[in-house]
Amino acid sequence: MDGRDWNLFLQPYEQAVEELKVKLKTLRVELKMREAYAPIEFVTGRVKKVSSVLEKAKRLNVPPDQLETGIEDIAGIRIMCQFVDDIHRVAGLIRTRKDLSLVYEKDYITNYKDSGYRSYHMIVEYPVQTALGQKNVLAEIQIRTLAMNFWATIEHSLNYKYKESLPDEVRERLKKAAEAAFQLDTEMSSIRHEILDAQVDFEERSNVVSKVLGDIQDLYFYHRIREAAQFQLKFNELWEKEDLFGLKQLSSEIQNAIHRAKKSGQS
């Protein structure tokens, strides 16, 4: 083991993690203000412990003088999202940032690991300003849903306890649990889409109702009393049946009637 000062070695990584956490938490606040919904639920970060850095270097055969390039997750940031769609949105936002540069990405959601692990990883290079000038450090940003995080947190702690000797039966059950967590994500996404669709339908229906009722008033204004009364009856019937398609058709029929009324008023 070399006699390096580990605190000094890890310092730029500490700085990178602190800065990235502040920036990503700020992004969450800003998105919440702009869109009322933030694709980021919460952000955490950590610097790898010296013992874990050494263990990983040994496992990956990284020489002691190449730790900075050979180990990409000494600085680690985790971004938790509610929905799988949010992960792609957040990854897109990170790609366009000017304060870091993307090195490469690993999509462990499409290509999930044998263990069942799912997450989206982005390896980035982040410049920190030190007393000796700028230093670029590598950082790993893991983006995952709350369900993926729940699974990974528990699986990680079990693996830590059992190391390599995790019983096969437990390994299999963990894989099944990962599948169940992913199904939960899929179900939540589909419920969300249905809610969004329902919101759009509701919006559309209330717009068409306002338009039809306003246009019927206009027909009275043009003294088309009989026609207006017939349209009102038709509207009542369609509104009762919640027939959005029929209401849209009625709206264009009324538009034509108004058009005719205007024309005959002019001649």
Q: Which residues bind ligand 0O2 (CB under 6 A)?
A: 25, 41-42, 44-45, 48, 56, 72-73, 76, 106, 113, 115, 117, 121, 152, 155-156
Q: Residue 144 or residue 234: which is nearer to ligand 0O2 going by CB?
A: 144
Q: CB–CB of 87/81 below 8 Å?
A: yes
Q: Which residues contact 40 (CB under 8 A, 6 or more apart)?
A: 24, 27, 28, 31, 79, 80, 81, 86, 90
Q: CB–CB of 94/78 below 8 Å?
A: no
Q: Residue 121 or residue 224: which is nearer to ligand 0O2 going by CB?
A: 121
Identify which of 221, 81, 229, 203 has the alpha carbon closest to the alpha carbon of residue 149.
81
Q: Residue 62 or residue 209: which is nearer to ligand 0O2 going by CB?
A: 62
Q: How far is the CB of 49 from ligand 0O2 (least distance, A)?
A: 9
**Number of Cβ atoms within 10 Å of the Cβ of 74:** 27
Tokens standing for residue 95: 């790609």
Helix (H, G, I), strand (E, B) or coil at 60: coil
Residue that has been written with the tokens 């437990």 in this structure: 170
Identify which of 32, 46, 153 has the alpha carbon closest to the alpha carbon of residue 86.
32
Q: How far is the CB of 72 from ligand 0O2 (least distance, A)?
A: 6
Backbone angles phi, psi at 147, to 5 degrees: -70, -40
Helix (H, G, I), strand (E, B) or coil at 181: helix
Q: Residue 75 or residue 258: which is nearer to ligand 0O2 going by CB?
A: 75
Q: Residue 154 or residue 198: which is nearer to ligand 0O2 going by CB?
A: 154
Q: How far is CA 209 from the centre of its chain?
A: 34
Just list the catalytic residues.
Answer: 140
Q: How far is the CB of 92 from ligand 0O2 (least distance, A)?
A: 20
Q: How far is the CB of 184 from ligand 0O2 (least distance, A)?
A: 15
Q: How far is the CB of 152 from ligand 0O2 (least distance, A)?
A: 4
Provide the residue type at 121 as one letter: H
